[in-house]
Structure 1
Amino acid sequence: MPKIAFIGAGSAVFTRNLLGDLLTYPELDGSTISLMDIDANRLKAVESLAKKMVEQEGSKMVIEATTDRSQALQNADYVVITIQVGGLKAYELDIEIPRKYGVEQCVGDTIGPGGVFRGLRHLAVIEEICNDLEELSPDALILQYTNPMAILCWGISSMSSIRFVGLCHSVQGTSEELAHIAGVPYEELSYWVAGINHMSWFLRLEHKGRDLYPLLFEKMSDPDTYALDPIRFDLMKHFGYFVTESSGHASEYYPYFRKRQDVLEQTLAKFTHPRHGWFKFGQTGGYLKHCFEVADHYYEDIEDQLKADKIEIRRSREYGAQIIHSIETNTPRRINGNVTNYDLITNLPYGCCVEVPCLVDNTGINPCYVGDLPPQLAGLIRTNVNLQELAVLGHIHRDKTLVKQAIKMDPLTAAVCSLEEIDNMVDELFDAQKEWLPQFD
């Protein structure tokens, strides 16, 4: 049975969901789950929750917990990375410092000043994890869930020979939403999605051979449907395809939606559906405020589950457990994974990180060839890839100038700030976050 290490296991919701997924596969019963986190209190709480879940299901899974990363990685077959270096303290700096310069990020975890600095903090640790794995478990497969996905996966590819795949739930969640909008059973939906993480596009969307895009364009004219995802429908209207990342997140990946106060107000006014409560909370930077609210109730939520008669366990839409099951049992599946672009998407740069369909079985992760994306989509993506490349090089070469150049490539920041303002903002971010950026000492 495999050993599955969770690095950053204190992410209780994610750890609970993925462990729950693993428990739904009888063939994986008897696996060892090694929970690792640097926060001993969070780790203890998650360990208690995991042991209750295993006991409740009558499973033979072995739960172990440690603050020693090497112990968790020793002889690991799979390594799940869900870290958040610097926690909410660092995340708040990602949002608040750029805001002083007029850069109003919504989430700030993918590109932009927030995404780049989150990436640098995490690359400092992920490089160490890869070095450890090369010594302790060179055949392990990393299941990388931490954002910014593309920057981190590109970094792993550039720094290490350890196998990896980056995983997100955007494709699954968006396909479910599109099936609902189209009024077709999800199981009958057929799609082909490719691009980069948080900017992948439904290149084909069909129901029993029928193209659903004409129906989507028709549905978009309904105000209630449009309110579900106004930014994504705007992008579809202008560029012809539906994108994977939700409207709130997507609003900061392009230069169109948040660059001036009047434009920002117009964008915010589009978020009328109740599902966007977190986005409206505080008007901007709302996700940060949402995260603080969740953190305030972290231990209460775990205590409630520990006191409950039964913890609900049902299979989620996450790919992680599906991949492990496919490899261990030779059960073929298709997922969308973040991998290195070795001529998979031919009009995006060779070696960048792309999100493409992948076939999984006991041979591992096998990415599918996509070919050229529609040129307008490739053009939008390249603006993000330019930033990602320079951010990775900034980490590898420990070069702050490259980091500044990365953020100068950011579509939103470039639409708001002068070159000198960006330099000043990046200097301020480096000074405020130096405790989490040891590679730049």
Structure 2
Amino acid sequence: MAKIAFIGAGSVVFTRNLCSDILLTPALQNSTISLMDIDPLRLRQARDLVQALIDGRGLHARVEATTDRREAIRDANYVITTLQQGGLDAYALDIEIPQKYGVEQCVGDTLGPGGVFRALRTIPVLLELGREMDELAPHALLLNYVNPMAANCWAYDRATGRPHVGLCHSVQGTSEMLAEWIDVPYGEVVYHCAGINHQAFFLTFRRGEEDLYPRIRQATETPEIYGQEPVRIELMRHFGYFVTESSGHASEYVPYFRKTEQMVNEELVPRFTEQVNGWFDFGRTGGYLRHCIERQEFAQQDYEKLIAGTKALPTRRTHEYGSHIIEAIETNQPIRINGNVPNRDLIPNLPNGCCVEVPCLVDGNGIQPTRVDTYPPQLAALNRTNVNVQELIVHAALTGEADAVHHAVLLDPLTAAVCTLPQIHAMVDELLQAQQRWLPQFQLARG
């Protein structure tokens, strides 16, 4: 049966959910799950959780845990990455240093200075992993969950050429939300969604022959729904289509919503009127960082309850794509996902080779992306403002050129709306200095 390796398995809640999905899949219930993390305590907790899932369901699956990445991936069929290089210490620097210069990031894991530096920390790890997979698991498929998705996958493709797919849950979550807004059963909805990760758009959203966009637009006029997603609704009103990523995220990828601290706190934050936005502190700067810190305590409590048997085991698979992809490949039963893959003429008006998020067929042949012929030009133009930054991130990560790091942040839409050129240069220098222990590829460039 399949061997499935998790790299960064100390992300206990996410590892538990993905492993639960795998173990709820009949075709995968005899799999070997190999967990790897650099933190022995969190690794032990992850192993205990997965073993509890196996024992609680009376399965014959096997779980193993190791701090040796090579051992984890040896002979693996699938490698799932959920790591966070530098952890919350590095993440705090991603948020706090740019804020000194007026760059107000709510999440900071995809674009902006935070996304740039998260990618620069992560890409070397992914490339090392790719080289190890060449040696130890040459036929394995990489399923990457690590942000910033587009830059990470683009660099991995350019440097390794290995089969991979980047996975996110924003398409599933947003499509479910839209169906709920208009009171249409989700099973009756058909949609076509494409773009780049965290900035893909629902090009169609229908039930049978009925175009559901008029109902979506009508629903967004109600204060309750507008208060859930004010940024995404404003983007739809001006660009014509609904974007996949939450308003806290989406507000960072464009220059319109976060120009000053006052603008964030007095204009943006009050638009969030529904508690559903509490996880990113209603758009405030550093909201998601604070959520991650709080979530650590929740994860520990969750772990203790599951191990003690006082919390019921999940009985249904989540909407994460991971287990469904592995099942489709192992059983040759086709499914459709939205995956992040290299742009090999898939969206012709986006740069060749960049990472795009498009509908993909998955079966025994692996991941098979589909072409999007009529991608609206205004959406492609908006995407390209993000792709420009991603391209320079990849160049910087693969060459070790510190100048390319400066160029990436100079072209970031939010940063450019806030800072002068000298301010951006000083900010990048400060970030490089503060994070040098996680950025070995730039040591020679600075030396």
Q: What TM-score bracket applies, with the shorter chain setting the length?
A: over 0.9
Question: Secondary structure at 2:102's aligned position in 1?
Answer: coil
User: Hey, what's the Cα distance between the residues in 1 that align with 2:280 and 2:304?
Assistant: 28
Does the 8 Å CA contact 2:269/2:283 hold for their aligned counterparts? Answer: no
Match of 2:373 in 1: 371
Does the 8 Å CA contact 1:337/1:356 hold for their aligned counterparts? Answer: yes
Match of 2:141 in 1: 141
Question: Secondary structure at 2:259's aligned position in 1?
Answer: coil
Question: Secondary structure at 1:272's aligned position in 2?
Answer: coil
Deviation of 1:97 after TM superposition, in Å, equals 0.2
Deviation of 1:281 after TM superposition, in Å, equals 6.5
Amino acid at match of 1:378: A
User: Hey, what's the Cα distance between the residues in 2 that align with 1:26 and 1:288?
Assistant: 37
Percent identity of the aligned residues? 56
Deviation of 1:116 after TM superposition, in Å, equals 0.5
Match of 1:414 among 392, 413, 416: 416
Question: Secondary structure at 2:269's aligned position in 1?
Answer: helix
Match of 1:402 among 388, 400, 404: 404
User: Hey, what's the Cα distance between the residues in 2 that align with 1:356 and 1:79?
Assistant: 21
Match of 2:59 in 1: 59
Does the 8 Å CA contact 1:281/1:290 hold for their aligned counterparts? Answer: no
Does the 8 Å CA contact 2:104/2:261 hold for their aligned counterparts? Answer: no
Does the 8 Å CA contact 1:331/1:362 hold for their aligned counterparts? Answer: yes
Match of 2:358 among 347, 356, 359: 356
Question: Secondary structure at 1:365's aligned position in 2?
Answer: strand
Match of 1:210 in 2: 210
User: Hey, what's the Cα distance between the residues in 2 that align with 1:8 and 1:339?
Assistant: 22
Question: Secondary structure at 1:193's aligned position in 2?
Answer: strand
Deviation of 1:32 after TM superposition, in Å, equals 0.6
User: Hey, what's the Cα distance between the residues in 2 that align with 1:230 and 1:359?
Assistant: 33
Amino acid at match of 1:361: D
Residues 20-71 of structure 1: per-residue CA shift (max 9 Å, x gap): 1111111112111000000000000110111010011111111000000000
Residues 145-203 of structure 1: per-residue CA shift (max 9 Å, x gap): 00000000001111002210000000000000000011100000000000000000000
Q: Unaligned stretches of 5+ in structure 1? A: none
Does the 8 Å CA contact 2:107/2:280 hold for their aligned counterparts? Answer: no
Match of 2:394 among 392, 396, 403: 392
Question: Does structure 1 residue 332 correspond to structure 2 residue 337?
Answer: no
Deviates more, 1:312-321 or 1:404-413: 312-321
Does the 8 Å CA contact 2:272/2:282 hold for their aligned counterparts? Answer: no
Does the 8 Å CA contact 1:271/1:280 hold for their aligned counterparts? Answer: no
Deviates more, 1:272-281 or 1:242-251: 272-281
Does the 8 Å CA contact 1:110/1:147 hold for their aligned counterparts? Answer: yes
Amino acid at match of 2:288: Y
Match of 1:320 in 2: 322
Amino acid at match of 2:411: M
Match of 2:437 in 1: 435
Deviates more, 1:159-168 or 1:295-304: 295-304
User: Hey, what's the Cα distance between the residues in 2 that align with 1:106 and 1:25?
Assistant: 36
Residues 202-238 of structure 1: per-residue CA shift (max 9 Å, x gap): 0000012100111111112111111121111000011
Question: Secondary structure at 1:205's aligned position in 2?
Answer: strand
Question: Does structure 1 residue 276 correspond to structure 2 residue 258?
Answer: no
Amino acid at match of 2:205: L
User: Hey, what's the Cα distance between the residues in 2 that align with 1:198 and 1:290?
Assistant: 19
Deviates more, 1:149-158 or 1:275-284: 275-284
Q: Which runs of 4+ in 1 moved over 3 A?
A: none
User: Hey, what's the Cα distance between the residues in 2 that align with 1:320 and 1:393?
Assistant: 29
Amino acid at match of 1:333: I
- Written as runs of structure 1 = structure 2, the 5 A alignment for 1:2-41 is 2-41=2-41
TM-score normalized by the length of structure 1:
0.98
Match of 1:426 in 2: 428
- Written as runs of structure 1 = structure 2, the 5 A alignment for 1:129-278 is 129-264=129-264, 265-278=266-279
Question: Secondary structure at 1:358's aligned position in 2?
Answer: strand
Does the 8 Å CA contact 1:190/1:207 hold for their aligned counterparts? Answer: yes
User: Hey, what's the Cα distance between the residues in 1 that align with 2:321 and 2:200?
Assistant: 17
Deviation of 1:282 after TM superposition, in Å, equals 8.9
Does the 8 Å CA contact 1:197/1:354 hold for their aligned counterparts? Answer: yes
Q: Unaligned stretches of 5+ in structure 2? A: none
Residues 353-379 of structure 1: per-residue CA shift (max 9 Å, x gap): 000000000000000010241111111
Distance of aligned partners of 1:77 and 1:165 in 2 relative to their CA distance in 1, 3 Å threshold = same
Deviates more, 1:306-315 or 1:21-30: 306-315
Question: Secondary structure at 1:106's aligned position in 2?
Answer: coil
Does the 8 Å CA contact 2:103/2:260 hold for their aligned counterparts? Answer: no
User: Hey, what's the Cα distance between the residues in 2 that align with 1:282 and 1:24?
Assistant: 35
User: Hey, what's the Cα distance between the residues in 1 that align with 2:344 and 2:423?
Assistant: 36
Residues 387-411 of structure 1: per-residue CA shift (max 9 Å, x gap): 0000000010100100110011100
Amino acid at match of 2:398: I
